Structure 1
Amino acid sequence: MKLTKLTYPAAMLTLLSSSIGQALANDEQSSDSKAKLEIEKIVVTSQKRIQSTQDIGVAVTSIGGDKLRDKGIDKAEDLTNSIANISSVNVTGGGLPIIVVRGVGLQNFRVNDSPTTAFYIDEVYQPNIASADLSMFDLERVEFLKGPQGGLYGRNTISGAVQVISKQPDVDDGTNGYIHAGIGTYGKTTLEGAVGTAVSDNSAVRVSLKSITSDDRQFTSTTGDFDHGEIDQWASRVIFKYDPSDDLSVLFKMHSGEDNSETPLLRAVGTFVAGPTVANVNASVFSFGLCDSVLSGQGTTPGCAFVDSAISADYNLQGDRYNSASTTPSFLENSWNGSSFQAAYNFADYTLTSITAADSMDYRRFVDLDSIPIEYAELDYVSYIDSWSQEFRLAFNGSSTYNWILGVNYAEDDIVEDSGAYGSEGLLPLAFGALGGPVSLFQDYEQKTEAFAVYGHGEWRIQPNVNLVGELRYTDATKSFSGSESLGYADGSSMFFPGIDDINLEKSFNDTSGKLAIEYNISENVMTYASVSKGFKTGGFYGGIVFSADDLTPYDSEQIMAYEVGFKSDLMERRMRLNGAAFFYDRSDVQQTATTTGENPVSRLTNIGDVNAHGAELDLTYLLSESLTLNVNLGYTDSEITDSDMVSATIPGMPEMPIEGTNTPNYSKFTGIASVNYESYITNDWLLLGALDYSYRSERDLNLVTQEAEKALLTEPGFGLANARVSLMDESEIYKVTFSVKNLLDEEYRTVLRDNGLRGMYTLYGEPMTWNLTFTYSFQ
């Protein structure tokens, strides 16, 4: 039976929640006249209306804007150290963040694919993963929903959804804002500020700005003799609010920014025998035999060679893990702007909401994928991304017994790609010698997406302590893909790639998704829930370089059926909050990168088969005293490919093996996060605040591991990261000085290990120990 793996954790949660209910009943019988310590109520809008996190049967984490700033969370991937059972991967170290939730995550790393964890910025869906980090400043909060959200949120939410909610102007709040400035390791400078003010009796505006710059960071080219890693980012936002009457509220937002940062230098990984090679190509060579340590499952050694037959010592790569043999700087040149218009009108017991948005992004990511001195595999990804959307929804909240939401959404996005691969030495001229030995390959395409959806959400309180929740959504999406590839030569001439000179494809995808849930309140402060939900991720077209028109055959939509049980509780007169969940996922037609077979194999996105995942989570917040708070988040996930007839090998040169029975990559089975927060007066006017947190992740496969010999190279052992911060703040919360350290123990761990697509491999390590000193001035 498919739900067998859910039975034991579900039973444990049921027994635990029952015990909690009894404990709470006993707790409430003994009242105390003393002033009580209570955990604050956390409000979210994850179900399109204002609710407490403790009142909804969804695994949701909400982090307030001040806490995000205190913890230095300004990128989507930073959330992974605060929430259990989520992880991240950024395949070239910047510009393309992937979030993996409960083992479900995007396995294709091109901008024309949609994420599995959907990002909504101020209720506007972000159609591609490149824009996930663009608005992480001056926030009200971030809400992270785990599990498929196919009802209210729709397509491409099979692992979850993230709501990024900006701080909004307030007509009744006068002039307010803050200035936040910081310095840190590698000359990092952060400047952030916001000011909101009333313009008239019924209108207000808020302006927000952020800038991050740095010197060269920890990356060094040993062959080019330069340091690398400068950060150069800025972003701005203006929100205008107008309330012409008590029943009508209007918001207009404009935002823009740039990211011209240098991305990490990749570090080559030797897997070949230094010696025998194929024929020289432009004075370069290519090794063909795997070294013994790789074949025997011991991983790479200093004597294993790169694709050019050099070893680590030849490029002085011993020692510092951030050294690279690359002589070509990798960088981003990204700019974006957009606007949105929201209007909400209340009449009788109804609210009609309209959200209109348009966004534009120029995206460029240049990366030296070979990470060695020769021009072997250097890629210049250039994309122009435009999107707009319109949503209308009608909500009814006029009854204590039931409420509902009906909505319709239409969206379009357009991606124009103009990318190039450069390799004057190595496989590119060798593989296409019959075509004159080209030194570059160019890819030009346009992908258009049109999506229409209609949805409904309803809740019915059938008993005072029993609530039924239902969601249903129908989505129809059409994608078109047109383009060509061409080969470039040293003399400046070019020719179309045979068979890929005029591609015109179109594919439609439609699906019905939704959820059915029951929520049961054991007592005022304890609720349990059970849900069944269905989600889907649209299919599409592979956006990478291909060598035949057949490789552009569209992949189908992915489906997920999710079963979840959980509980939420506030105990010990609300000094303790304990929440838990257990889940089982049945995924079909899973989209994942795999290697095709044939004369010219290519790694691309396809439907590999079925995946099952199961796991559990436990979240604890406990007010130990007026000064001390403990937070513990635990997570377990096991995600396995259960049915597939495909074969693959991640390490170039290894025999291809069946992928059925292997784990999906880029997640840890066990995650644990613990933090202690301290707050106390040191004088009558000043407070001392301190925080220490530690996050642990068990081993994880950095790529698909199909055979035991690959494990030593592709599996990263478990590790833990410690962070600390201490702040001094005045009683009125006007002035605040904070000193913080991330990766306090300077833990060494890899975040990426991948095949570069031309038989070489590279790796990246996580950030070293860094420090920051910040000053915040708030005014009201």
Structure 2
Amino acid sequence: MFRYSNYFLLCGTALAMTLSVFTATSVAAPITKGAVHKHASHPKAGTTVKKPVLSPVQHNRKAMQSSQPETIMVRQTRNVFGQAARQKQGVSVTHIDAADLARHQVTDVKGLMNLAPNLTVQPQGASSSVNFTLRGVGLNDFTSNNTPSVMTYVDGVALPIGYMAGAAMFDMAGVDVTNGPSGYTHGQTVTAGEINVQTADPTKALHYGASEDIATYNRSITNLYVSGPITSNVQYRIAGFTQQGGGFQKNINTGQTLGNANKGGLRAKVAWQPDDKTNIVFSGNWMQDNSQATGVYNIQDLSRNTPAYSNNRDTSWGFRPEFLKLSGNEGQTKPSYNNTFWGAGVNITRNLGFANLTTISAFQQMYVHNLMDLDGTRYAIYDVDVNTNANMFSQEVKLASRNSQSRLQWTVGMYYDRTQMRSSIFNDYSQSGSRPYVQRTSYNQDQQAFSQYGHLRFALTKRLHLQAALTHESDDRTLYNMRTMRYNTPAYPTPFDNRYGRHGALTNQFSGMGGIEYQAFNNLMFYGSIRKGFKPGGFTANNTVVDSQLNPTKPESLLAYEIGFKSDYMHHKLRINGDAFWYDYHNQQMVGLAVIPRYGVVGQYVNIPKSRIWGVEMEIDANPIAGLVLHQHIGYERGNYKDFNAIDSTAVALAYIKTGVLSAQYKNFNNVDMGIPKLTLEGSASYKVKLGETWGLTPYVDYSYRGSQLNIPGNNLYRLPAYFLLDAGLTFAPKSGKWSVSAYANNLLNRHYDITRDTGLNGIFGVPGTPRMVGGRLKVDF
């Protein structure tokens, strides 16, 4: 209980503040008879308030009182923080609005990492795929063919493939990051949480706008949109973006730059209301990414003994012509992406009177081609080409109660998805010494999932609410046509062409939750919940040389205990929310290591029988004076393995250096720290200064801090050092808000930091974070 003492102290402080505010408002100054006070429900400026019709007796009484003095006081309270409804819900959610996304130049989900507590978003190596960890729960899915622990939704559509989730974000309405096991009211059940991305919808009035963002390293980001009515019951919205430049890495041998973006996309939505009870939204999207790939820097190279790079922004690459021809990359001279994404969907909402019926149908297609140099040297030690063709179809049907005043609120629904994937992976090891050949691994994977869910919320009293939910999900996936072959070289004339049998993984699991919400005062709510989540098993589908590598992992499950409070003070000028959580984690899926004699160390998904995570989170928003907005997020978490024996990569490396022979070396990691960042901080301050009656000037400062992180236990070379980032900017805009001009500097202190570290071939590589970026942005909205 000691570890929660600070949390309970904060709860007590929140209660004391509420009591003081309650007392202060109760003992108000005497009010003149007939005075009217209005707080939560007050007329907006310019609103006509209808007077009630009076009976003759009431009319005479009114006339008798007309000579008495009457004072009418109308207090208007504006909530600058928004999300008032969320303050009445017992769940931990971080909301990031469109303005914050634009201010931080968030163009994909990796930009969210420093905007929410205890959230980690990392690229998978140097590829365009991404991995998520939330509150220490996540999977480093280097083959991108497994269900993520954190599910990404775009306009209500789940994207279970890392490449799809990592595609561009533009024309945004906002993002919600939901912590803990989820999937009780929609979509799929997962263990860690959700990232819900909402794009802007069509409008009934004509609006159009554009923005241009230009920064150092020749980076430019262009956005535009137009939205409005076609007829009285049909609206449209078309939005597009392009991003160019921004490459900051340099080849340590030649001085060439790397990392320039070259991508763009379009999205269209059409909303149709055939009657006053139905809304149908048709949507389509397309995105093309021909950017240069991210480079890696060498941390350890046991193949050629290349010295570790002292500057993490240095890189190197070198592809053999034979490898480029074999992998379909003739003419390429740098690591690169060639990705195409497109999709379409229909979202139908129908008012049935007693409930709302919602159906969401979606299809997404991707063609991914990533050429990467994962050794960060000019040698062909670990050069990789990934070619993946995948599509996904999903269908959801949901029924939810409509009467918000009813004591019983309910939601029931069903969700189905089907994915088909075909992938081939080329690895050029020919100059590594230990593997003098090019290897190709190819496979097909089919997956389908069917889930059912039900959620209830019952008002036991006016202030006390109970919640309960139950879900069931069946996940069936099959890996087939798995083949690994090696292309002969003068140093490796031995034929190698292995074909592997069909492998399947079937999961049927129930999960659920129970919760309580207590509205102690109108401005203070306490809540608690117990939630059970699970994630299906999957396959390791890369670099397969022995059949045992294809054994599926077991499903993982998470039992989450959480308590928290949400509060607003000083007429919504101060918001303080906090929570504490305790996770019992079973069969945690993670990337471990396997040692294959005469071959090397390979990644292998493993299950950790038991581990434990706990932590606290705090959100503080303040608007102490007009124009000044302060924001602070705090996340602290700890995790320990409770039953885990694994390959000790340090011991393996030392044994290889000493003997020249690869052999498995194990270590017991019971009670060892899981390596998740212990402390994450994110804060901002902005102050809008009025310049006369027409103009406004808003300076702002943002900062973030992330504690050190160790993804693979046993070797400190994998540790990402802690780092602190500071951003600053200035925005000038007219009162109308129709245009604005901004200047900014991100990573003002030009910190060198890593966003991921990973296993190479007999080595370790890192991927650097973005350096100082100084730029300006012009935005117009009409």
TM-score (norm. length: structure 2):
0.87
The residue type equivalent to 2:234 in the other structure is: S
Letter of the 1:777 partner, please give it.
Answer: V
Contact 1:698 1:719 in 2 (8 A): yes
Work out whether 1:644 is the aligned partner of 2:675: no
Q: What does 1:523-542 correspond to in 2, within 5 Å? A: 523-542=521-540
Which of 382, 385, 399 is the equivalent residue of 2:387? 382
Q: For residue 69 of structure 2, what is the aligned residue in structure 1?
A: none
Q: Per-residue displacement from partner, 1:669-718 (whole Å, max 9, x unpaired)?
A: 011222111112113211101210111222222x3232xxx33x333333
1:21 has 2:25 as partner: no
- The share of aligned pairs that are identical, in percent, is 22
Aligned to 1:311: 307
How many aligned residue pairs are there?
711
3-state DSSP class of the match of 2:451? strand
Moved more, 224-233 or 441-450: 224-233
1:663 lines up with 2:673 in the alignment:
yes
Query: Are residue 603 (structure 1) and residue 603 (structure 2) matched?
Result: yes
Distance change >3 Å, CA 496–CA 167, structure 1 → 2? farther
Q: CA deviation at 1:156?
A: 5.5
| CA drift at 1:30 | 5.1
Matched position secondary structure for 1:609: strand
CA 1:161–1:650: 2 relative to 1, 3 Å: farther
- Please tell me whether residue 769 in structure 1 is matched to residue 777 in structure 2: no
Q: 2:682 is matched with which residue: 673, 686, 689?
A: 673
CA distance in 1, matches of 2:542, 2:151: 22
Answering whether residue 212 of structure 2 is matched by residue 195 of structure 1, we say no
The structural deviation recorded for 1:557 is: 0.5
Report the equivalent of 1:692. Answer: 701
Larger radius of gyration: 2
Taking the aligned partners of 1:533 and 1:408, their CA distance within structure 2 comes to 20
Query: Match of 2:303, as an amino acid?
Result: V
1:624, distance to aligned residue in structure 2 (A): 1.7
C-alpha contact 1:672 1:696 (8 A) present in aligned 2: yes
Q: How far, CA to CA, are the matches of 1:309 and 1:629 in structure 2?
A: 52
Partner residue in 2 for 1:74: 107
CA gap of 1:575–1:651, structure 2 versus 1, over 3 A, is: farther
1:730 positional shift? 0.8
- Give the letter aligned to residue 641 of structure 1: Y
The alignment partner of 1:144 has SS state of: strand
Report the secondary structure of 2:370's partner residue: strand
Q: Distance in 1 between matches of 2:77 and 2:318?
A: 58
Greater relative contact order (CA < 8 Å, ≥ 6 in sequence):
1
Say whether 1:330 aligns with 2:331.
no
Structure 1 residue 620: Cα displacement: 0.4
Give distance in 1, aligned partners of 2:172 and 2:566: 26
- Aligned-partner Cα distance in 2 for 1:735–1:492: 64
* Aligned counterparts of 1:729 and 1:368: Cα–Cα separation in 2: 45
Do 1:235 and 1:255's aligned partners in 2 also have CA atoms closer than 8 Å?
A: yes
Deviations 1:303-355 (A, max 9, x none): xxx5213436xxxx55x431223234222111110000011111222111111
Q: CA deviation at 1:400?
A: 2.1
Residue number among 735, 740, 745 corresponding to 2:744 in the alignment = 740
Corresponding residue for 2:431?
425
Q: Which moved more, 1:599-608 or 1:479-488?
A: 599-608
Question: Which residue, out of 442, 449, 470, partners 1:451?
Answer: 449
Q: Distance in 1 between matches of 2:638 and 2:162?
A: 25
Q: Is the 8 A contact 1:650 1:755 kept in 2?
A: no
The aligned amino acid for 2:90 is G
SS in structure 2 at match of 1:12 = helix
Q: Could you tell me which of 549, 552, 559 is aligned with 1:551?
A: 549
Tell me the equivalent position of 1:87.
120
1:751 to 751, 755, 775: 755
- In 1, distance between residues paired with 2:262 and 2:740? 25
Partner of 2:408: 402
**1:155 touches 1:535 (CA, 8 Å); kept in 2?**
no
Deviations, residues 123-144 of structure 1 (Å, cap 9, x unaligned): 0000111112335211111111
Asked whether the 8 Å contact 2:152–2:196 carries over to 1, the reply is: yes
Q: For the residues of structure 1 that align with 2:209 and 2:514, how far apart are their CA atoms?
A: 43
Counterpart in the other structure of 1:368: 373
How far residue 643 of structure 1 moved from its aligned partner, in angstroms, is: 1.4
Note if contact 2:219-2:243 (Cα within 8 Å) is conserved in structure 1.
yes
Residue 414 of structure 1: how far off its partner (Å): 0.7
**Match for 1:512: what amino acid?**
F
Matches within 5 A, 1:553-632: 553-597=551-595, 599=597, 602-632=602-632
Cα deviation, residue 117, structure 1 = 0.9
Worse-superposed segment, 407-416 or 262-271: 262-271
Q: Is 2:138 the counterpart of 1:98?
A: no
- Name the aligned partner's letter for residue 636 of structure 1: Y
Instruction: Check 1:154–1:537 CA distance in 2 against 1; reply closer, same or farther (3 A cut).
Output: farther
Instruction: Tell me by how many angstroms 1:635 deviates.
Output: 1.0
Select the residue among 154, 172, 185 that pairs with 1:152. 185
Residue deviations 1:539-569 (CA, integer Å, cap 9, x gap)? 0111221220111001111000000000000
Asked if structure 2 preserves the Cα contact closer than 8 Å seen for 1:222 and 1:324, the reply is: yes
Question: 2: distance between equivalents of 1:620 and 1:640?
Answer: 29
CA contact (8 A) 1:103 1:613 kept: yes
> Does the Cα contact within 8 Å between 2:727 and 2:748 map onto a contact in 1?
yes
Q: Partners of 1:745 and 1:177 in 2: how far apart?
A: 36
1:623 and 1:250 map into 2 onto residues whose CA distance is 39
Residues 150 and 534 of structure 1 are in contact (CA less than 8 Å); yes or no, is this contact kept in structure 2? no
Which of 240, 245, 262 is 1:214 aligned to?
245
For residues 422-457 of structure 1, the C-alpha deviation after alignment (integer angstroms, 9 at most, x for no partner) is: 122224545xxxxxxxx2111110111111111111
Once the two structures are superposed, residues 266-297 of structure 1 have per-residue CA deviations (whole angstroms, 9 ceiling, x without a partner) of 111246xxxxxxxxxxxxxxxxxxxxxxxxxx
1:740-761 deviation digits (Å, cap 9, x = unpaired): 11100111222222220x2022
Question: For residues 21 and 742 of structure 2, what CA distance do their matches in structure 1 show?
Answer: 38
What letter matches 1:489 in structure 2? Answer: N
Contact between 1:652 and 1:760, CA under 8 Å: does it hold in 2?
no
Secondary structure of the residue aligned to 1:23 is helix
Structure 1 residues 345 and 36, CA, compared in 2 at 3 Å: closer, same or farther?
Answer: closer
Distance change in 2, residues 1:80/1:310 (3 Å):
closer
Contact kept in structure 2, 1:155 and 1:536, CA below 8 Å: no
Q: Which amino acid aligns with 2:80?
A: E
CA contact (8 A) 1:9 1:616 kept: no
Aligned 1:290-301 pairs, distance under 5 A:
none
2:381 maps to amino acid:
Y
SS at match of 2:185: coil
Q: Which residue of 1 aligns with 2:653?
A: 653
Mind listing any 5+ residue stretches in structure 1 that lack a counterpart?
44-50, 272-305, 431-438
SS of the aligned residue for 1:447 comes to strand
Asked whether the equivalents of residues 74 and 133 of structure 1 are also in contact (C-alpha less than 8 Å), the reply is no
SS in 2 for 1:22: helix
Q: Are 1:682 and 2:687 counterparts?
A: no
